[in-house]
Amino acid sequence: MSGEPLIGLSGVRVARDHGRIVLDGIDLAVRPGERVGLVGPNGAGKSTLLHVIVGLLPVAAGQVAAFGRPCRTEREFAAVRRRVGLLFQDSDDQLFCPTVAEDIAFGPLNLGVGRAEAAAVVTRTLARVGLAGFEHRITYRLSGGEKRLVALATVLAMDPAVLLLDEPTTGLDQEAEERMLALLLSLDQAMVVVSHEPRVIDRLATRVVHLDRDGLKAA
């Protein structure tokens, strides 16, 4: 893919748990239109890497840049999170409002969108993920697969320029997984997709990188 990177990591090191190094010397560039598959063993730091991109975890060394600008402060990362949507591995970490509509509308309303427009976003986004009519459903009563699709809807409602998807098909049956993959393939956004499912990576990724204790390299 050509073009300047939307997201760039250079020499990133992350330490956790009393100084334990989780990521070390990580370089990654995500360009417009790319769908980067991120694979590797459990505990390699794949979710950590996604969290670093949006500033949820600090770096001990190296640089994170987004949309051509280095990001160091919380204020700078807050601006990044308006344009980069992160789908958490656990949907319960993403859904915290009583109803589906409230969860999906939360982000747009915080950006200053009016209530009528936010309601239209909710309706439109639920239709995109195959859950039309779910507006008034109680979030905690949803099935695991339904929660996964609603969590994605909360991300898409923000119309992000980049998607960071951590195990996007977790909890989905075959039909819902196919709908999810078809939806993601229809999107123009650049993506980083973490998945342990080879079929998901094979369908979605335009290139694949492998993360392990030795670092990040082309798969």
Pick the last residue of a domain from 138, 159, 180: 159
Rounded CA Rg of the chain: 17
Asked whether residue 32 is assigned to any structural domain, the reply reads yes
Asked whether residue 178 is assigned to any structural domain, the reply reads no
If asked whether residues 101 and 153 sit together in one domain, one would say yes
Asked whether residue 182 is assigned to any structural domain, the reply reads no
Asked whether residue 14 is assigned to any structural domain, the reply reads yes
Bridge pairing between strands 20-30 and 215-218? unpaired
Asked whether residue 176 is assigned to any structural domain, the reply reads no
If asked whether residues 39 and 70 sit together in one domain, one would say yes
Asked whether residue 174 is assigned to any structural domain, the reply reads no
If asked whether residues 21 and 72 sit together in one domain, one would say yes
Tally the domains of the chain: 2
If asked whether residues 22 and 46 sit together in one domain, one would say yes
User: Tens-digit pLDDT profile for the chain (219 aa)?
Assistant: 557 899 999 999 999 777 788 999 999 999 999 999 999 999 899 999 999 999 999 999 999 999 999 999 999 999 999 999 999 999 999 999 999 999 999 999 999 999 999 999 999 999 999 999 999 999 999 999 999 999 999 999 999 999 999 999 998 999 889 989 999 999 999 999 999 999 999 999 999 999 998 889 997
Task: Please state, in angstroms and rounded to a whole number, the distance separating the CA atoms of residues 76 and 71.
Answer: 6
Q: Dig out the tokens for 187 from the structure.
A: 């999107």
If asked whether residues 142 and 213 sit together in one domain, one would say no
If asked whether residues 69 and 129 sit together in one domain, one would say no
Describe the chain by its helix, strand, coil percentages, rounded to 5.
35, 30, 35
If asked whether residues 70 and 121 sit together in one domain, one would say no
Range of the domain at 109: 91-159
If asked whether residues 98 and 130 sit together in one domain, one would say yes
If asked whether residues 12 and 30 sit together in one domain, one would say yes
If asked whether residues 139 and 200 sit together in one domain, one would say no
Coil/strand/helix, residue 180 = helix
pLDDT of residue 95: 96
If asked whether residues 45 and 122 sit together in one domain, one would say no
Which is it for the CA torsion 156, 162, 163, 164, positive or negative? Answer: negative
Asked whether residue 31 is assigned to any structural domain, the reply reads yes
Residue whose tokens read 């020499």: 11
Q: CB-based contacts of 43: which residues, under 8 Å, 6+ apart?
A: none
Domain CATH for 63: 3.40.50.300
Asked whether residue 173 is assigned to any structural domain, the reply reads no
Q: Dig out the tokens for 128 from the structure.
A: 């995109």
